[in-house]
Every structure is written in structure tokens, then in C-alpha cells.
Amino acid sequence: MEPNYDNLDPQERVNRILALFSVLIGAASICGGLIPIIGAIGAVVGVVAGVFGRKSDSHKLATAGIIISSFALTLSLTYGFIVYLSTPK
């Protein structure tokens, strides 16, 4: 049984959108991690959106977004560190 989204509280609707956005931006940040700055910024945005998304009924989706975004942040920072070390000085 699907909930009627027209009858949702506007804040609840925003929090559900943030939970979904957290997952999507986290997955995009994994791909964007090849450019470490872009991947890191996207991952931080994904974590913040996931934290706000946990206030909704979609807290499991928001938690998944936080985990994916945290992984993307770790991946971006690690790759950035490896690239920094491998550049000739």
C-alpha cells in the first residue's frame, strides 16, 4: 500500500526527498571520486542530506545514503592522497 504523498506534511516530504537525494549523490560521488575535490564535496553533501533525511519515515534509506556517501568520501580522500604522493616533486 503506497502512501498518499499529497497528504504528507511538507517537512516530511522534504526529508524523504533528502533521504533519496543522499543515496543518489553518494553513488554519483563514488564516480566523481576520480576528481577528488568533486567527489569529496559531493560526499559531504550526501552525508548532510542523509542526516536530515533520517528525520523522515525513510530513515533506512537515509542511513544507506550516509553509508554510501561515507564510502565515497573515504574513496575520494584516499585517491587524492595517492595522487598527491605519486606526483613528482
- Whether residue 20 lies inside any domain: the answer is yes
pLDDT confidence tier of residue 87, bands split at 50, 70 and 90: confident
- Whether residue 49 lies inside any domain: the answer is yes
- Whether residue 63 lies inside any domain: the answer is yes
Of the candidates 11, 3, 23, the one whose C-alpha atom is nearest the C-alpha of residue 55 is 11
Residues spanned by the domain of 44 = 11-86
- Whether residue 28 lies inside any domain: the answer is yes
- Whether residue 68 lies inside any domain: the answer is yes
Residue 87: what are its φ and ψ, rounded to 5°? -75, 135
- Whether residue 24 lies inside any domain: the answer is yes
- Whether residue 5 lies inside any domain: the answer is no
The three state secondary structure string of 48-89 is HHHHHHCCCCCHHHHHHHHHHHHHHHHHHHHHHHHHHHHCCC
In the 8-state DSSP scheme, what is residue 7?
A: G
pLDDT digits (tens, 9 = 90+) for 18-46: 999 999 999 999 998 888 899 999 999 99
Based on the structure, what is the number of domains in the chain? 1
Could you tell me the pTM of the whole model? 0.85
